[in-house]
Amino acid sequence: MTDFGKALAPVPTPIEGLVVYDLPVHGDSRGWFKENWQREKMLALGLPDFGPVQNNISFNDAVGTTRGIHAEPWDKWVSVATGRIFGAWVDLREGPGFGTVFTTEIDPSKAIFVPRGVGNSYQTLAPDTAYTYLVNDHWSPDAAYSFLNLADETAAIEWPIPLSDVEISAKDLAHPRLADVTPIPPRRVLVVGAGGQLGTALRAEYADAPWVEFATRADLDLTGDLAGARRWRDYGAIINAGAYTAVDLAETDAGRADAWAANVTGVAALARIAAEHGVTLVHVSSDYVFDGTATEPYREDAPLAPLGVYGQTKAAGDAIVGTTPRHYIVRTSWVIGEGKNFVQTMASLAERGVDPSVVSDQIGRLTFTDDLARGIRHLLETRSPFGVYNLTGGGTPQSWADLARTVFELTGHDPDRVVPVTTAEYFDGAAGPVAPRPAWSVLDLAKIEATGFEVRDAAESLREYLEA
């Protein structure tokens, strides 16, 4: 009999992410009514905003009808419209929970959220039972399923009605035992712009993760048909490691068009895919979204005020990504990675006996790409709250001239060979257009540190980088 009068409440289970919900059912002599799915109330109780796109109903005539155990690559919200079932769920996902079993009875006063990769099965305990489920992907013959035999000895499900006495399909009877099940892997992660400095660091960071894919500009054209480029529901995250970063060239007619194409139009295409398919979008932003007039480190909620075209395109990209339900905007500054960069240039000049003039009125902190990649992985794996996070090296802010002197000193050369100049002096007589630079690029790191991420001192990272 349906249990009337319960309050809406979640009940956790031993399987991670599998949650039973008590549903309020209101009834009288005429029958009953319930809110079977109420997004606002259920999200407030911690249910993931899983974005259902299809509603299915399985009607069962007889008591003892038994179905499963099927693990699909999508999430499900399962309930009973009429009748009653004994449900059994087995975790078939890769990881330490593989093989964990949970069973319970479900009537119209209960529902259960079944995460992707958890095997689902049930046995009807009343005639004319209607088993209903919302799913967040359309059925596809290309989807990768896993199955478990209903009689598996390891799972040892105690079916109320013996399997020998019930209706089961031949296909369900032929499913493998737990030892032979292919676990459902995690949702894939796609790194876009994988050929650049950050992309290279992400390749190293995720070298142990076979579910991470890497795409260069040649592999994935963000101006093309992204909708058909991948089966996007199989992806949990897209990391946008690519950007147009030629800040001075962006001030030219051709450069301006290229900067907007890469940093805005391409980002908008990724944001559209992320929003439509429930994918987390990780986007790397820049200190150039600020005008550099602050006297304290910029917090994540500081007003944007870009000075030049590059900064304007990055600010526009941030605004677009911020509209997606699941996003991390990782704002950084003064990035150093593999390939040509400021540190390598200074080290080369020191070795060749060149005494460089270096800007002394721009203040910030270096960010090494391996730390940036580590921070991105941290946000994703800890499921930190979505939003904007500053991520740079830590320690005392310095000017470019200060950093150049440090490079000279660490490579065994006289740091006084570095000649400090103002930005105006450095670019005086420049042959082409010069983008305005923020004079103050120091970002506040308290928010990302509060997630448990350990920010490395930029000076120590610089030392290790030069010693490598």
Q: Choosing from 21, 122, 133, 298, which is the catalytic residue?
A: 133
Of 148, 180, 212, the residue at which a domain comes to its end is 180
113 and 262 share one domain: no
The CATH number assigned to the domain holding 116 equals: 2.60.120.10
Angle CA(146)–CA(147)–CA(152) in degrees, nearest 5? 140
The answer to whether position 17 is within a domain reads yes
What are the tens digits of pLDDT across the range 68-110? 899 998 999 999 999 999 999 999 999 999 999 999 999 999 9
The answer to whether position 103 is within a domain reads yes
- What's the mean pLDDT when you consider all of the chain? 94
Give the model's pLDDT for residue 344.
Answer: 95
Instruction: Using the predicted structure, report yes or no on whether residue 172 has a pLDDT greater than 60.
Output: yes
Give the model's pLDDT for residue 2.
Answer: 58
> How much of the chain exceeds pLDDT 70, in percent?
99
Look at the alpha carbons of 408, 438, 329, 302 in this order and tell me if their dihedral is positive or negative: positive
Give the model's pLDDT for residue 144.
Answer: 80
Question: In which band, very low, low, confident or very high, does the pLDDT at 3 lie, cut at 50, 70 and 90?
Answer: low
Cβ–Cβ contacts within 10 Å for residue 315, how many? 20
396 and 281 share one domain: yes
What are the tens digits of pLDDT across the range 132-161? 999 998 887 777 889 999 999 999 999 999
Q: Is 133 a catalytic residue?
A: yes
128 and 93 share one domain: yes
307 and 196 share one domain: yes
Instruction: Using the predicted structure, report yes or no on whether residue 315 has a pLDDT greater than 70.
Output: yes
130 and 204 share one domain: no
Of 158, 180, 202, the residue at which a domain comes to its end is 180
Count structural domains, the chain. 2
Give the model's pLDDT for residue 141.
Answer: 75
- Reduced to 3 states (helix: H, G, I; strand: E, B; else coil), residue 391 is coil
Tokens of 309: 């075209």
The answer to whether position 291 is within a domain reads yes
CB-based contacts of 429, cutoff 8 Å, min separation 6:
none
C-alpha radius of gyration, the chain, whole number: 28
Please give the Cα distance from 285 to 67 (Å, whole number): 49
The answer to whether position 93 is within a domain reads yes
143 and 84 share one domain: yes
Instruction: Using the predicted structure, report yes or no on whether residue 190 has a pLDDT greater than 80.
Output: yes
160, 125 contact by CB (below 8 A): yes
* Residue 395 amino acid letter: G
- Number of alpha helices (DSSP H) and beta strands (DSSP E) in the chain: 12, 25
* Cis ω for the linkage preceding 329 (within 30 of 0): no
Torsion of CA 234, 238, 244, 247, to 10 degrees: 170
Give the model's pLDDT for residue 6.
Answer: 81
Tokens of 337: 């990675």
165 and 193 share one domain: no
Angle CA(86)–CA(87)–CA(88) in degrees, nearest 5? 130
Q: What is the mean pLDDT of residues 1-7?
A: 69
The CATH number assigned to the domain holding 280 equals: 3.40.50.720
Instruction: Using the predicted structure, report yes or no on whether residue 1 has a pLDDT greater than 60.
Output: no
Question: In which band, very low, low, confident or very high, does the pLDDT at 250 lie, cut at 50, 70 and 90?
Answer: very high
What are the tens digits of pLDDT across the range 266-313? 999 999 999 998 899 999 999 999 999 999 999 999 999 999 999 999
Residue 233 Cα to chain centre, angstroms: 13
| Domain hosting residue 411, numbered range | 188-467
Q: Is 327 a catalytic residue?
A: no
267 and 381 share one domain: yes
Give the model's pLDDT for residue 218.
Answer: 86
Of 180, 200, 230, the residue at which a domain comes to its end is 180
Nearest CA to 329 out of 290, 280, 291 is that of: 280
